[in-house]
Amino acid sequence: MSVLVDTGAWSLAFRRRKPPDNGIVHELRHLIREARARLMGPVRQEILSGIREAAQYVKLKDQLRFFPDLPLERVDYERAAEFFSICRSRGIQGSNTDFLICAVAERHNLPILTTDGDFDSFAEHLPILLHQPRSHSPL
């Protein structure tokens, strides 16, 4: 099964000169090798935003081009707005991109790999699944 990867996981693995040795980075590497990691355009934009060095930007942009964007549809934006309202009514806040990730994950029946603890709160109220890293071993 494919996994929709959130900005934080991509950033840990790709934006740092030396990625940390942790379960999220190992899991993302496994998912990439298994051709199961999925990306969406707004996450691509978040990953690439704010990179100060032009060479690092170009390198990361080129690395991410390997991953096609999941197509977004009108229903994804509408569902994301519903999710925003559901969570806000329960005192839970999140970004528009976070709720769009949830909506796309739901429509494609994909679990989400994330470093963002907000998704734990979302998962208590929304029909999403979070992908848990397997016990990591060196690749």
Question: Domains in the chain and their CATH numbers?
Answer: 3-125 (3.40.50.1010)
* pTM exceeds 0.85, yes or no: yes
Residue 100: its pLDDT value, please? 98
Residue ranges in the chain whose pLDDT is less than 50: none
Residue 15: its pLDDT value, please? 75
| Sheet with 3-5: strands ordered across | 69-70, 37-40, 3-5, 112-113
Angle at 61 between CA 29 and CA 64, to 5 degrees: 30
Tokens found for residue 104: 């796309």
Residue 138: its pLDDT value, please? 54
Residue 136: its pLDDT value, please? 56
